[in-house]
Amino acid sequence: MGILKSASKEELIKANQRSLMDFFHMTSKKSDVIHFLKGEGIEGLYSSIPIRIVNRIILTDPNSKYLDSEVENISKFYEKKSSPLYWEVWPENSPDKLEETLLKQNFHYAGEYPAMGMKLDQLVEEDLKGLEIKRVENKKQAFILADLFKEIYQLPDTAREDFLNTVLLFDQDLINYLGYEDGEPVCMSSVYYYAGVAGIYNVGTKKDYCRKGYGRKVTAKPLMDASEKGYKYAILQSSEQGEKVYQRMGFEELCRVKSFKK
């Protein structure tokens, strides 16, 4: 798919969802513990790591004809794998009765997060002084990035190894960044070019270096690079605490994605 030159809100929601799903699909290819699930109009992830982000259904075909049985079968599959199951409901791109079906099958509301987007021509160039930001382009940098990823997100060694294996592919559509303060790696981000948009992922800062604006700066750098490559839109999925930061950068909420847990 080419670069999206012009897009409606609905198209950006779909691009956001598609980017997210394919980002994790790509990650799962080099993983021993995160697995891609593709059923009849359903796509998601399951893992032995018992956290929401890698145990969820992200995409449910809006035109699904057998929704009840599909939800039931997927639920049994996750139960057999001893994995928690979170099912996401994306406005504009989920079956009309998905939420009703989930509640009927003993799922309960487990929270929501904002899917966000921005037009890159509205990006205000960020002053990056005080932080040296480098693209990850070699093996040494990849190992530094993987160690930082593990520390920031407090993940097990298996997750670090999976992430490292993905980074070492040096896929042209996945660009990773390291931010340095006085030679010390302190923050990171990734941009994934897919579905016609620039998707921002893995934004994080070491605990002792938070509240210095580094998260904003290490997000701005890939956005500026994406704009130079000709991309017109950027998307991301935000935590509640990150939402206001992204809004100040020019991102707007496209929708709120609800999550239901079995």
| pLDDT at residue 128 tops 80 | no
Please give the Cα distance from 222 to 168 (Å, whole number).
19
Beta carbons of 145 and 178 less than 8 angstroms apart: yes
Average pLDDT value over all residues in the chain: 95
Q: What is the pLDDT of residue 92?
A: 84
3-state helix, strand, coil in the chain (%, to 5): 40, 30, 30
Residues whose CB is less than 8 angstroms from the CB of residue 133 and which lie 6 or more positions away in sequence, other chains included: 177, 178, 179, 180, 217, 218, 221
Total structural domains in the chain? 2
| pLDDT at residue 42 tops 80 | yes
Q: What is the mean pLDDT of residues 240-252?
A: 92
Same domain for 92 and 39? Answer: yes
Greater model confidence, 109 or 124: 109
Q: 67 is in which domain, residue-wise? A: 9-115
Q: What is the mean pLDDT of residues 79-93?
A: 96
Same domain for 199 and 249? Answer: yes
Same domain for 91 and 165? Answer: no
Q: What is the mean pLDDT of residues 64-81?
A: 95
Least confident of 19-23, 87-91, 201-205, 239-243: 239-243
Backbone angles phi, psi at 152, to 5 degrees: -65, -45
Identify whether 262 is part of a domain. Answer: no
Name the pLDDT band for 126 (thresholds 50, 70, 90).
confident
Least confident of 73-82, 120-129, 203-212: 120-129
Burial 191-212 (b: 16+ CB within 10 A, else e): bbbbbbbbbbbbbbbbeebeee
Identify whether 19 is part of a domain. Answer: yes
Q: What is the pLDDT of residue 43?
A: 97
Nearest alpha-carbon partner for 162 in 58, 29, 55, 43: 29
pLDDT, tens digit, 9 for 90 and up, residues 166-184: 999 988 999 999 999 999 9
Identify whether 4 is part of a domain. Answer: no
Q: For the domain that residue 181 is a member of, what is the CATH number?
A: 3.40.630.30
Q: What is the mean pLDDT of residues 229-233?
A: 98
Greater model confidence, 156 or 205: 205
Q: What is the pLDDT of residue 260?
A: 99
Answer with the one of 115, 149, 164 that is the final residue of a domain.
Answer: 115
Name the pLDDT band for 65 (thresholds 50, 70, 90).
confident
Name the pLDDT band for 125 (thresholds 50, 70, 90).
confident
| pLDDT at residue 204 tops 90 | yes
Same domain for 154 and 190? Answer: yes
Same domain for 27 and 142? Answer: no
| pLDDT at residue 46 tops 80 | yes
| pLDDT at residue 237 tops 90 | yes
Same domain for 41 and 89? Answer: yes
